[in-house]
Chains A and B, each alone.
Chain A
Amino acid sequence: MKTPTYLDEKGQVVILRSDEIVNRSQSVLKDDLIEVSETDALFIYLEDYERKSLRINLTSKSKTTIYMIFKTSKPNEYDIQINLENRAQADVFSVFRNVEKTNLTVNRRFVLAESANLNIRNALLNMGETTLNELVSLSGVKAEVAIDVLNIGAYNDVFTVNQDVSHQAKSTISNITNSLISNQNAKLNYSVSGRILKGNEFSSCKQTNKGIILNEAGEIGVIPKLYIDEYNVEASHGAAIGQIDEEQLYYLLSRGLTEAEARSLIISGYTKPFVAAIGDEDIKELVERQILKRINEADIL
């Protein structure tokens, strides 16, 4: 199996696959545990990794960006736990690539200690059937998580995504933004839950879900749920799902854009802010290529 060439130039790389495990980073890899100390960017490349479970520990006060690249050619299931110790800060960017239509299940649990700060960004642009279960426990006071998902489905793809954020301490903050596009027969099913448990006042739990269905056979289902057991908190959820907005289309047409150009621009409004937030240029290019491929494959234009 061949490792992507862009990883050759990266300073901190961990490669996990069926036939080899390579650690080219300052992080300590022992059994299924990666102890991450402060670093600019750590790339974790998982290709049909058969041990399936993985733990990542981010040490106290560390500041790190982790790029997780999942490449899957046969059905697989991962269990991954990521712990952020006190005041650890991390951006965890995940991109999922399937070389064939296959089944992939990823179960991830994030546990955030006091004042830990986590940004999760998931680019779900792969083929086949994908199940992503993400549980976030805000267990320390002032822990904060932002989840940003871009999901483009085409053909007969099925995405089942469960997001569950549990506020287990005071003054914790969560913010989820899901940007979803379905074309042809793709089905995107989201269950988005926010829980503020009793006693965890001054917490804030917000969800925004927006989706475009480009074909009558496509489906986007979002079930936003808030379980609030405390008074002095902020909580909100919203879901706006439908076809391309006719008024937006008219506005762009009225400035001379053709219908194809206008549709493309509206769709880029979903994808561009997500791409702009990717720090690594190679990963940005990889995601842009995947988006273009998905859009062309999906015959969106």
Chain B
Amino acid sequence: MVLEIKDLYVSVEDNIILQGVNLQVKGGETHAIMGPNGTGKSTLASICMGHPKYKIESGDILLDGESILDKSVDERSRMGIFLAMQNPTEVPGVTNFDFVKAALQTRMESGKHLRVGRFILDFEKASDDLKMGKGLAHRFLNQGFSGGEKKRNEILQMKLLKPKVAFLDEIDSGLDVDALRIVGENVTKQKSPDMGLVLITHYQRLLDYIEPDFVHVMINGMIVKTGGKDLIAKIDSEGYDWVKTELGITDFDVRKAPVSLGTCPTKTLK
């Protein structure tokens, strides 16, 4: 598995959010993307998932060599992209069980059906691993969940859907110390040569449990620095100002997308 993001420019409402992002994630690798608020980290995850709010100005995203830009959100998911969201949406009346079952069923070949007995056991196992309690299957999707439960429920879905590449967008926010450990351990257990991981986070504490192979710093819509674990400790103790100073980045270096002013009328000579 290889996910390649090539010179990606993305805008929303005429504001350029990503300014030429390049990233390659291979199966078995764990990448951490860190950076100040509003620098485009979550946008990068959302655009890979295909959120309709964002517009790709130029560049490409390839999964195993195939461009996914023309793929819809659901097609990307079935191809193996997963996004554990920062604020998972509540869907009243739809149980967790029905939802995950439908998500697995839709991945199966036409005419084949999910083995429900096996699925129930897998669901219960994943729920136990994440210490989510017995009633989870029959609770409505994210409704009435605490912040921590919502995040653990995202990881539960990741465990069951087994994606090729998973973006975990601030999965550590809203988690207490014990929940963070549980999530960290479960994600680490799921690491395999068949899956690439992209962790978006502000804090070192998540990376204490899920060890990254690469750490990227994103500022003003660009990956401006890439390093190893030593980078995490430095960011944790000194913040991002030293990166900005080192690279000469200003806080207002955000470009506007080019806007068309219309075309001039033309006259065809007879």
B-binding residues in A (CB < 8 A): 210, 245, 247-248, 250-259, 261-262, 265-266, 268-273
Interface of A is mostly: helix
Partner of B98, one of A250, A251, A262, A265: A265
Decide: B77 and A247 in contact? CB cutoff 8 A. Answer: no
When distances are taken between beta carbons in the complex, the residues of chain B under 8 Å from A269 are 91-94, 140
When distances are taken between beta carbons in the complex, the residues of chain B under 8 Å from A258 are 74, 106
Decide: B94 and A256 in contact? CB cutoff 8 A. Answer: no
**Which single residue of chain B is at the shortest CB-CB distance from A179?**
B93
**Which single residue of chain B is at the shortest CB-CB distance from A246?**
B52
Other CB < 8 Å A-B pairs besides A254-B49, A265-B102, A272-B93, 16 of them? Answer: A210-B92, A245-B89, A248-B90, A250-B52, A250-B73, A251-B85, A251-B88, A251-B91, A254-B73, A256-B106, A256-B107, A265-B91, A269-B92, A269-B93, A270-B93, A272-B95
CA distance in complex: A252, B106 (Å): 12
**Which single residue of chain A is at the shortest CB-CB distance from B78?**
A256
Distance (Å) between the CB of B248 and the closest chain A CB?
A: 37
When distances are taken between beta carbons in the complex, the residues of chain A under 8 Å from B95 are 272
When distances are taken between beta carbons in the complex, the residues of chain A under 8 Å from B140 are 269
Decide: B94 and A250 in contact? CB cutoff 8 A. Answer: no
Q: For chain B residues 51-66, which have a beta carbon within 8 Å of chain A?
A: 51-52
CA distance in complex: A254, B91 (Å): 14
Decide: A251 and B78 in contact? CB cutoff 8 A. Answer: no
Most chain A C-beta atoms within 10 Å of own C-beta, residue among B95, B103, B140: B103
When distances are taken between beta carbons in the complex, the residues of chain A under 8 Å from B78 are 256
Distance (Å) between the CB of A223 and the closest chain B CB?
A: 23
When distances are taken between beta carbons in the complex, the residues of chain A under 8 Å from B100 are 255
Known contacts A250-B52, A265-B98, A269-B140; A255/B77 CB under 8 A = yes
CA distance in complex: A270, B140 (Å): 11
CA distance in complex: A232, B107 (Å): 55
Most chain B C-beta atoms within 10 Å of own C-beta, residue among A251, A265, A272: A251
Decide: A256 and B88 in contact? CB cutoff 8 A. Answer: no
Known contacts A255-B99, A257-B103, A261-B106; A268/B74 CB under 8 A = no
Known contacts A247-B89, A258-B106; A253/B73 CB under 8 A = yes
When distances are taken between beta carbons in the complex, the residues of chain A under 8 Å from B77 are 253-256
Q: Is B72 an interface residue (CB 8 A)?
A: yes
Known contacts A250-B73, A269-B140; A255/B103 CB under 8 A = yes
Distance (Å) between the CB of B183 and the closest chain A CB?
A: 18
CA distance in complex: A189, B83 (Å): 40
A-B contact pairs, 19 of them (CB 8 A): A247-B89, A248-B89, A248-B91, A253-B73, A254-B49, A254-B73, A255-B77, A255-B99, A255-B157, A256-B74, A256-B78, A256-B106, A256-B107, A256-B161, A258-B106, A261-B102, A265-B94, A265-B99, A268-B93
When distances are taken between beta carbons in the complex, the residues of chain A under 8 Å from B85 are 251, 254
CA distance in complex: A257, B85 (Å): 16
CA distance in complex: A15, B25 (Å): 70
When distances are taken between beta carbons in the complex, the residues of chain B under 8 Å from A266 are 91, 94
**Which single residue of chain B is at the shortest CB-CB distance from A270?**
B93
CA distance in complex: A251, B92 (Å): 13
**Which single residue of chain B is at the shortest CB-CB distance from A258?**
B74
**Which single residue of chain A is at the shortest CB-CB distance from B142?**
A251
Partner of B93, one of A251, A259, A273: A273
Known contacts A261-B106, A269-B92, A273-B93; A255/B161 CB under 8 A = yes
When distances are taken between beta carbons in the complex, the residues of chain A under 8 Å from B107 are 256
When distances are taken between beta carbons in the complex, the residues of chain B under 8 Å from A265 are 91, 94, 98-99, 102
Distance (Å) between the CB of B91 and the closest chain A CB?
A: 5
CA distance in complex: A273, B90 (Å): 15
CA distance in complex: A268, B92 (Å): 10
When distances are taken between beta carbons in the complex, the residues of chain B under 8 Å from A251 are 85, 88-89, 91
CA distance in complex: A253, B85 (Å): 13
